[in-house]
Every structure is written in C-alpha cells, then in structure tokens.
Amino acid sequence: MATPPADHQIPRFQSATEKIEARLSHEVRSALALEASGGVYNGERAFVNYRGIAMSVKSTWLSRDLPVLEATIAILTEPQHPGFVDVRAIAERCEMDAHDVFDALRDMNGVYVNLQRNLSSDPNGQLVMGVTPVARIAVGQWPSVEMLSGRLITSFQQAEQAEVDPVRKSRLRAVSDGLTEMGQQVVVAVVSAAISGHH
C-alpha cells in the first residue's frame, strides 16, 4: 500500500501549481483579451501567432492600399490608355507620396496589380502593367460572385411578384424558395462554377 505524502509535501505541490498559473504571461492574457474583443488589440487589428501571443497589425487597406488601387484602375480605364501606368501618375492622382504608393503596389503585387520593378531607387519610374480581376471586384468595378448570386435570388423573387399567371407564379416561387433554402454558400458555388465554366 502506498504511503500517503507527508504534510510538508503538500505545500510543494501547491507552490508548483501557483508557478504554473504564473506562467500565463502578459502576452497570453493579451491573446485571450484579443479573442474577446473581436480581433482588436491596442486599437489596431491583430492576430494570435503560433505561440499564442497577440500581435498587433496596423491596417493599410483603407488608408493606403485601396486609394492607390482605385487610382490605378481609374487611370488604366481611361479612353485610349496604353495599358500601363507609372507610380508618379498614380501618386498624383491619389495625392500621396510616391514612396507610399510604391509600398502599396509592392504589397499588392501578384494579387491585385502586376508590378514591373526596375533597378532604379526612384519609385516614380516603377510601372504597373495591369490589374487583376480580383482588383476590379475589390474597388466595385466588377460584381463579386456573392453579389451576382444575391441578384439571382432577388430577380426570381421580383419576377414571382410581378407574374400574374398562377402556374408561372408558382414555378417562380418554387425556384426562389429553392435558392433561398440552399443557402448563400451553395448558390455562390453554383454561380462560380457557371462563370468559370466548371461543371
């Protein structure tokens, strides 16, 4: 039969427990607070890294990237435009510093813009050779798949309300109800497949 621990050993166990509890560092507690605050940490958007530490990340989308992207697309869609634009023209259009514009384009390169970089240290001469479909959707120039799917459902609902023939009205209602019951995600998947040509 095992001998029960001596009384003097109990405080050691309690002390060890207290040490474990004390290891909840300020960073980990901040990560828990981050989750409770909906992803805002010290007034900025943030994330929790693999160690469970809250890392604050300053958002640049609204203040820098989106205005640069909007100015870039606006210039590229002007009549008889050559199809490329330099940083200088973009900076003048959105009234921002050329270095900030170049930083935004560099960060968006490959996803939103096609940036052709040269060896010059002057950002003004760097060229944007085009933008991606994702960029046109981001600025609202093209509709998103979610928007198209929503319009599809709304169109059937409006057609059903305007239809006077009982049989057609019933069929339109059945389609509208079916699309609504499938859910937005399913409709989005169907519309995406139709656009891309996949079956």
Q: 63-97: per-residue pLDDT in tens?
A: 999 999 999 999 999 998 899 999 999 999 999 99
CATH of domain 61-138: 1.10.10.10
DSSP state of 64: I
pLDDT recorded at residue 27: 44
Q: What is the pTM of this model?
A: 0.58
Three-class DSSP category at 199:
coil
The DSSP letter of residue 78 is: S
Quick check: 173 and 157 in contact, CB under 8 A?
no
Strands 54-56 and 44-48: antiparallel
Q: pLDDT category, 21, cuts 50, 70, 90?
A: very low
Q: Mind listing the pLDDT tens digit for each residue in 133-143? A: 999 989 988 88
